[in-house]
Amino acid sequence: MIALKNISILTYVALFGGIWGYAMYGKNMIWMWLSFELVGGVCFLIKNKRTTDRYFKHIIRVADIFITLFLIIISSSEFIPMIIKMILFFSVVLGYLLIYFNLLFKGKLINQTSL
Instruction: Give the start-to-end residue ranges of the domains of the chain.
Output: 4-110
pTM, two decimals, is: 0.84
Asked if residue 47 has pLDDT above 80, the reply is yes
Per-residue confidence band for 14, with pLDDT thresholds at 50, 70 and 90? very high
In whole angstroms, give the CA distance from residue 46 to residue 99. 20
26 conformational bin, left if phi > 0, alpha if psi -120 to 50, beta if neither:
left
Residue that wins the pLDDT comparison between 29 and 2: 29
Mean pLDDT over residues 34-52, rounded?
90
